[in-house]
Amino acid sequence: MLAPPRVFDGILSVVWALAFTAIPLVTLHVVSGGKVGRLLRGYGVRAFGLSLLFGIATLMASLAVALAMRPFAPLEPNRVGDVLANANALAVSIFLVRTSIQLVGEEVVTVLPLLAVTWFCTARMCIGRRGGLAMGIAVSTLLFSAMHLPTYDWNVVQCFAVIGTARLVLTAAYLRTGSLWVLSGAHILNDWSIFAVGYAGSHLPTGT
Quote the CA–CA distance of 10 and 16 in Å, as a whole number: 10
Instruction: For residue range 40-56, list pLDDT tens digits in order.
Output: 778 899 999 999 999 99
pLDDT, tens digit, for every residue of 79-111?
Answer: 776 677 677 778 888 888 999 999 999 999 999
> Which DSSP category does 163 fall into?
I
What does the alpha-carbon distance between residue 181 and residue 178 come to, in Å, rounded to a whole number? 9
pLDDT digits (tens, 9 = 90+) for 73-87: 888 887 776 677 677
Average pLDDT of the segment spanning 113-136: 94
pLDDT category of residue 132 using cuts at 50, 70 and 90: very high
Predicted pLDDT at 81: 65
SS3 sequence, 70-87? CCCCCCCCCCHHHHHCCC
Write the DSSP symbol of residue 5. P
Max Cα-Cα span within the chain: 67
Q: What is the DSSP letter of 206?
A: -
At residue 164 the predicted structure's pLDDT band, cuts being 50, 70 and 90, is very high
If you average pLDDT over each of 7-11, 151-155, 192-196, which comes out highest? 151-155
Task: Quote the DSSP letter at residue 3.
Answer: P
Whether 2 shows a pLDDT value over 50: the answer reads: no
Confidence of residue 202 (pLDDT cuts 50, 70, 90): low
CB < 8 Å & 24+ apart, contacts of 152-157:
152/75, 152/76, 152/78, 153/76, 155/74, 155/75, 155/76, 157/69, 157/73
Residue 57: per-residue pLDDT: 97
Do the beta carbons of residue 103 and residue 184 sit within 8 Å? yes
